[in-house]
Structure 1
Amino acid sequence: MATAVDVDKVGGGLMNLFSYSNLVHAVSGASGSVIAISVFYPLDTVRTRLQVDDHRRAKNTYEALKEIIREEGLQGLYLGWFPVVSALSCSNFIYFYTYNGLKSALLGGRSKASPLVDLSLAFVSGVVNVLITTPLWVANTRLKLQGAKLHTAHYNKRDGPSKDSDQKYTGILDCLLKIINREGIQKLWGGTVPSILLATNPAIQFMVYEALKRYFRGLFHVPELSGLMYFILGAVAKTVSTVITYPLQVIQSRLRAGYAKHESSLTLVENLLHLIKTRGFGALYKGMEAKLLQTVLTAALMFLIYEKIAAFIFHLMGLK
């Protein structure tokens, strides 16, 4: 009898994993992320430039925006927009589906969610997401920097000429194929170690967000919060996770960019120490102002849209 019960539980868990509800969450999360990143994309451009470009003169977000517009025109702020949207939609679809699928499979309809459970499930979802989508983000970084006027001549001279410096890409697939042919397939997973560690970023974000959401739903005795509350909770959660994990994001961007061959041969800790030694401790937080503006506003808007789309679809279907 015990075996039969266990089999029923496993079967029920698998059914919960492949449910319509998880698909709704995944589509809602992907849609919210695409709309949000499109609105705040120039800030993401500035963040990437400041993280990768060691000799960019701008010291803050506003100066960097003006500098890019002056050197490259307004279109420079939107370089690589389509690859970012493509990668982000795939990434968030996988992440939201995995997170809600695991939650449904393990908890079912029981209300046993807690900050520790949220943190664990979000981290596992992040690792799954990283392993599947890292090649898309490597191509995304290359495409976003293609055509950008980077002030990295001294840095490249020290490390040797970049094999990718004269390479031109026509799209994501072309970029992936050329990276494989010229640098090897392993390069598609450049920055994977910091990316896996950075799975703690959305894990912390989801833990804080879900904890705050449960708290305020209970405080106000409502099943759903207002759009403004979702926006604020998303902003607070992303701020906490970004500040904690930002140095790893800097290393991740530099490894994905592929401009410094020397750094790609170092371990994560060696990369952190190398960056501090050559660029100073402040380099670990270079571009964080732009990152906070971009990622906090994007995450806040994304969570608002995600919650509203999911609630609307579930309402139409007569589901909670």
Structure 2
Amino acid sequence: MASVLSYESLVHAVAGAVGSVTAMTVFFPLDTARLRLQVDEKRKSKTTHMVLLEIIKEEGLLAPYRGWFPVISSLCCSNFVYFYTFNSLKAVWVKGQRSTTGKDLVVGFVAGVVNVLLTTPLWVVNTRLKLQGAKFRNEDIIPTNYKGIIDAFHQITRDEGILALWNGTLPSLLLVFNPAIQFMFYEGLKRQLLKKRMKLSSLDVFIIGAIAKAIATTVTYPMQTVQSILRFGRHKLNPENRTLGSLRNVLYLLHQRVKRFGIMGLYKGLEAKLLQTVLTAALMFLVYEKLTAATFTVMGLKSAHKR
């Protein structure tokens, strides 16, 4: 219990949250391009820079940053929960011993499940707000009119029911393998490098963070596309598949995507996603490692950061 409620877990959680907010703010326009490509199926532009140029031309210079605050708020809460749970569980299980790749994967998976169940409503709302006012090519998309985060929560609950706040939970639960795979590769590569040197450089942390996220994103991307569509929840779906987030609806959306666009339709927006998520993850881990190391040094807990 002491390991779960420790200052070390709190430091990891705060550093992870600060790192993710910093990184996402820097690369936010790339996430905007990725989301448009995933949700707006009839958008013809396929490259990231062309989509961003279209958005700026049609919707204004600040349009790539639309929905920044709800996304950052959700990300901050989400990463705080994930990093706190991950490091608390790891401290309880490992108890001073050297961790293994298998343990990192299991702990990452459990931390991901806890994170999804607690923070999915935040992500549903921020997806809606991020796409509000967008000029879609797909006429099947029903527009929204939310005044802010609180109003979005109220309208979704009133019009669609409380469970609509957990739209996309099933693919999100399947996607916990993304951070689990990411942390497994990140911790594994980190251990391998630490065998050869006493300390990792900023470049080392940036590179292994990028590699870990690139692998995790590529493996899980089709499910991320379905997750975005379900969270948005404004498509006119098959009447027989109205239960958003059900396994039947996930399979339906995957089938429709392949039927209309071929197998590569599952990877529409991957370029933007890889650019955004890899650079964001790399910068996040860099800020996270530096912040935790500095904090532990000040607290006299330097050794606690060595995994």
Q: Calculate the TM-score normalised by the size of structure 1.
A: 0.90
**Aligned ranges for residues 209-220 of structure 1 at < 5 Å?**
209-220=186-197
Larger radius of gyration: 1
Rounded to whole Å, the distance in 2 between the matches of 1:318 and 1:257 is 46
Instruction: Give the deviation of 1:271 after TM superposition.
Output: 2.0
The amino acid of 1:288's aligned partner reads L
Question: Which sits farther off after the overlay, 101-110 or 181-190?
Answer: 101-110
Alignment equivalent of 2:108, drawn from 122, 128, 149: 122
Superposed CA offset, 1:262-300 (max 9, x none): 165443222211221133222100000000000000000
Rounded to whole Å, the distance in 2 between the matches of 1:301 and 1:168 is 34
Rounded to whole Å, the distance in 1 between the matches of 2:171 and 2:161 is 20
Equivalence for 1:151: 137
Instruction: Give the deviation of 1:261 after TM superposition.
Output: 3.6
Instruction: Give the deviation of 1:57 after TM superposition.
Output: 2.3
**Aligned ranges for residues 250-269 of structure 1 at < 5 Å?**
250-262=225-237, 264-265=242-243, 266-269=248-251
Equivalence for 1:175: 152
Alignment equivalent of 1:108, drawn from 78, 86, 95: 95
Instruction: Give the deviation of 1:74 after TM superposition.
Output: 1.2
Rounded to whole Å, the distance in 1 between the matches of 2:176 and 2:150 is 25
Rounded to whole Å, the distance in 1 between the matches of 2:149 and 2:173 is 22
SS at match of 1:103: helix
Does 2:42 correspond to 1:64?
no
Rounded to whole Å, the distance in 1 between the matches of 2:181 and 2:75 is 19
> Structure 2, unaligned stretches of length 5 or more?
none
Question: Which sits farther off after the overlay, 50-59 or 297-306?
Answer: 50-59
SS at match of 2:85: helix
Equivalence for 1:7: none
The amino acid of 1:306's aligned partner reads Y
Equivalence for 2:296: 314
Alignment equivalent of 1:225, drawn from 179, 197, 200: 200
The amino acid of 1:178's aligned partner reads Q
Identity of aligned residues (%): 55
SS at match of 1:15: coil
Instruction: Give the deviation of 1:104 after TM superposition.
Output: 0.7
Rounded to whole Å, the distance in 2 between the matches of 1:117 and 1:273 is 34
The amino acid of 1:236's aligned partner reads I
The amino acid of 2:295's aligned partner reads I
**Aligned ranges for residues 285-296 of structure 1 at < 5 Å?**
285-296=267-278
SS at match of 2:3: helix
Does 2:33 correspond to 1:46?
yes
Superposed CA offset, 1:105-125 (max 9, x none): 1222222x1111000000100
Does 2:256 correspond to 1:274?
yes
Instruction: Give the deviation of 1:73 after TM superposition.
Output: 1.3
Equivalence for 2:10: 23
**Aligned ranges for residues 188-227 of structure 1 at < 5 Å?**
188-220=165-197, 222=198, 224-227=199-202
The amino acid of 1:120's aligned partner reads V
Equivalence for 1:247: 222
Alignment equivalent of 1:298, drawn from 276, 280, 289: 280
The amino acid of 2:267's aligned partner reads Y
The amino acid of 2:299's aligned partner reads M
Alignment equivalent of 1:137, drawn from 123, 130, 135: 123
Superposed CA offset, 1:238-274 (max 9, x none): 0000000000000000111112241654432222112
Question: Which sits farther off after the overlay, 237-246 or 263-272?
Answer: 263-272
SS at match of 1:202: helix
Equivalence for 2:84: 97
Q: Calculate the TM-score normalised by the size of structure 2.
A: 0.94
Rounded to whole Å, the distance in 1 between the matches of 2:165 and 2:106 is 27
Superposed CA offset, 1:129-173 (max 9, x none): 0000000000010000001111111x34xxxxx4xx2x3112212
SS at match of 1:309: helix
Rounded to whole Å, the distance in 1 between the matches of 2:11 and 2:24 is 20
Rounded to whole Å, the distance in 1 between the matches of 2:95 and 2:7 is 14
